[in-house]
């Protein structure tokens, strides 16, 4: 077996931490900024290719540091242009990231964990179980790999933390990733182009509310009563609808900004006109918009997708009450890249593997 690489992984570091690492190594601080630019502006991670650094410096960087990148194992392309990337991490674990073109922007859907611990009853990732958190290198690395694969490094793109995992269950790494992605000497992604989606980890939302760097917030609501939400999104047993909505009510929003509420429509479970009217009441005093997600059905998921008529009726009730509502088109369903369909072999071997096999 090869011994583990003990060199410090620069891909995990925010610019300030990288500068400190250079200073600690007796290297000039300003060199860190140059390396940071190579990684995030030009997509170069091989010190030998950093042509404005001298030969000696390149050699000593290579001795002390490394720059890890998730390995692209497989890519699937949907008829609708969506591309799903299977990436392998240093420990052999695998994650998926999705590129969704023209929605109307170019969007990267990024994972924050290997698997997920939230166990929502209608989500395939949940069926995998939870393996581990991703590091900042692995979160930002997905953006680097996708930007290179889609040739978008120099163009604007949106990032949604809506892949595998619950981003607020991996808070520190996700916030460090935000700072790396938005760093002006790197990719300089505008925070307005980043959306963090959470199932409602209330204490972490309270913490997020105090962050200087704020992504857009999306909340996976999915139900209008505690009884139903307890059943389909078990986190609700810990933080009730009232607690969650109260936190949303107090969440600081920039002018004109709103919280997106995602609502998976499950036939006969949470999709009645009564649910729609209750949703109107619940969101009454919140600056909200609603994104309806008709279920992407799958073997092993004990729910059905409602008919288009039912979806439209639900949407119409919200619209009649002046709530901005959109119905999410599922993109990439033919390659299992749509919402809630990301699954790779996970720790709950039998269940996850069986499902993954069924989906092939």
Interface region with ligand SAH, contact rule CB under 6 A, candidates 13-21, 114-122, 187-195, 317-325: 114-122
Interface region with ligand SAH, contact rule CB under 6 A, candidates 18-26, 45-53, 191-199, 205-213: 191-199
- Which residues within the stretch 199-218 sit at the binding site for ligand SAH (CB under 6 A)? 199
User: Which of 115, 186, 340, 346 contacts ligand SAH by CB under 6 A?
Assistant: 340
Q: List the beta strands (DSSP E) in the chain.
A: 8-9, 65-66, 71-77, 83-88, 94-100, 107-109, 113-115, 130-133, 158-161, 194-198, 216-220, 259-265, 288-294, 324-327
The reply on whether position 183 binds ligand SAH by CB under 6 A is no
> At closest approach, how far in Å is the CB of 162 from ligand SAH?
4
Helix (H) or strand (E) holding 126: helix 124-128
Concerning whether 96 is annotated as a catalytic residue, the answer is yes
User: Which of 183, 247, 296, 317 contacts ligand SAH by CB under 6 A?
Assistant: 296
Residue 151 Rama label (left phi>0; alpha psi -120 to 50; beta): left
Please work out, in degrees rounded to the nearest 5, the angle formed at the alpha carbon of residue 244 by the alpha carbons of 167 and 198.
15
The reply on whether position 89 binds ligand SAH by CB under 6 A is no
Q: Residue 233 CB: number of other CB atoms within 10 A?
A: 25
Is-contact 70 93, C-beta < 8 A?
no
DSSP letters along 97-124, please? EEEE--SSS-EEE--SEEE-SS--TT-H
Interface with ligand SAH: number of residues (CB under 6 A) = 18
The reply on whether position 111 binds ligand SAH by CB under 6 A is no
Which residue number, 118 or 317, has a Cβ lying nearer to ligand SAH?
A: 118
User: Which of 162, 174, 335, 337 contacts ligand SAH by CB under 6 A?
Assistant: 162
The reply on whether position 10 binds ligand SAH by CB under 6 A is no
> At closest approach, how far in Å is the CB of 255 from ligand SAH?
25
The reply on whether position 197 binds ligand SAH by CB under 6 A is yes
User: Which of 13, 114, 205, 264 contacts ligand SAH by CB under 6 A?
Assistant: 264
Concerning whether 339 is annotated as a catalytic residue, the answer is yes
Interface region with ligand SAH, contact rule CB under 6 A, candidates 64-72, 118-126, 179-187, 243-251: 118-126
> At closest approach, how far in Å is the CB of 142 from ligand SAH?
14
The reply on whether position 170 binds ligand SAH by CB under 6 A is no
Say which of 96, 138, 183, 262 is annotated catalytic.
96
Q: How many residues does the chain have?
A: 360
Rounded to whole angstroms, the Cα distance separating 174 from 30 reads: 26
User: Which of 40, 47, 122, 239 contacts ligand SAH by CB under 6 A?
Assistant: 122
The reply on whether position 339 binds ligand SAH by CB under 6 A is yes
DSSP 3-state of 238: coil
For ligand SAH, which residue has the nearest CB?
340
Burial of 285 (0-12, 13-18, 19+ CB in 10 A): exposed
The reply on whether position 220 binds ligand SAH by CB under 6 A is yes
Rounded to whole angstroms, the Cα distance separating 279 from 223 reads: 8
Of 252, 250, 303, 313, nearest to 279 (Cα)?
A: 313
The reply on whether position 100 binds ligand SAH by CB under 6 A is no
Please work out, in degrees rounded to the nearest 5, the angle formed at the alpha carbon of residue 298 by the alpha carbons of 141 and 115.
30
Q: How far apart are the first and last CA of the chain?
A: 33
Q: Which residues sit at the interface with ligand SAH, rule CB under 6 A? A: 118, 120, 122-123, 162, 166, 197-199, 220, 262, 264, 293, 295-296, 301, 339-340
Q: Tell me which residues are annotated as active site.
A: 96, 339
């Amino acid at each position: 077996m090869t011994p583990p690489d003990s060199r410090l992984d620069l891909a995990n570091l925010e610019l300030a931490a990288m500068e400190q690492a250079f200073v600690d190594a007796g290297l000039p601080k300003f060199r860190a900024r140059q390396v940071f630019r190579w990684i995030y502006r030009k997509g170069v991670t091989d010190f030998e290719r950093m042509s404005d650094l001298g030969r000696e410096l390149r050699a000593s960087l290579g001795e002390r540091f490394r720059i890890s990148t998730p390995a692209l194992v497989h890519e699937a392309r949907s008829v609708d242009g969506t591309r799903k990337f299977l990436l392998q991490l240093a420990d052999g674990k695998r994650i998926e990231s999705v590129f969704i073109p023209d929605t109307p922007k170019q969007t990267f859907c990024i994972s924050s964990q290997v698997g997920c611990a939230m166990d929502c009853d209608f989500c395939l990732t949940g069926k995998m179980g939870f393996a581990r958190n991703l590091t900042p290198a692995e979160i930002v690395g997905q953006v680097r790999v996708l930007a290179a694969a889609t040739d978008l490094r120099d163009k604007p793109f949106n990032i949604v933390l809506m892949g595998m995992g619950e981003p607020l269950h991996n808070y520190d790494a996700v916030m460090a990733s935000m700072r790396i992605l938005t760093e002006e000497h790197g990719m300089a992604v505008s925070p307005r182009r980043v959306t963090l989606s959470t199932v409602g980890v209330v204490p972490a939302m309270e913490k997020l509310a105090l962050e200087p760097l704020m992504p857009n917030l999306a909340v996976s609501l999915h139900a209008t009563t505690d009884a139903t939400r307890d059943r389909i999104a078990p986190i609700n047993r810990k933080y009730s609808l009232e607690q969650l909505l109260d936190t949303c009510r107090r969440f600081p929003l920039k002018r004109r900004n709103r919280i997106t509420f995602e609502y998976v429509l499950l036939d006969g479970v949470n999709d009645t006109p009564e649910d729609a009217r209750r949703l109107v009441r619940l969101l009454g005093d919140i600056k909200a918009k609603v994104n309806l997600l008709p279920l992407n059905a799958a073997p092993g998921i004990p729910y059905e997708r409602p008919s288009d008529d039912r979806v439209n009726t639900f949407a119409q009730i919200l619209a009649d009450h002046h709530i901005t509502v959109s119905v999410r088109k599922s993109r990439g369903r033919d390659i299992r890249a749509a919402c809630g369909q990301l699954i790779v072999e996970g720790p709950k071997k039998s269940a996850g593997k069986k499902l993954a096999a069924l989906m092939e």
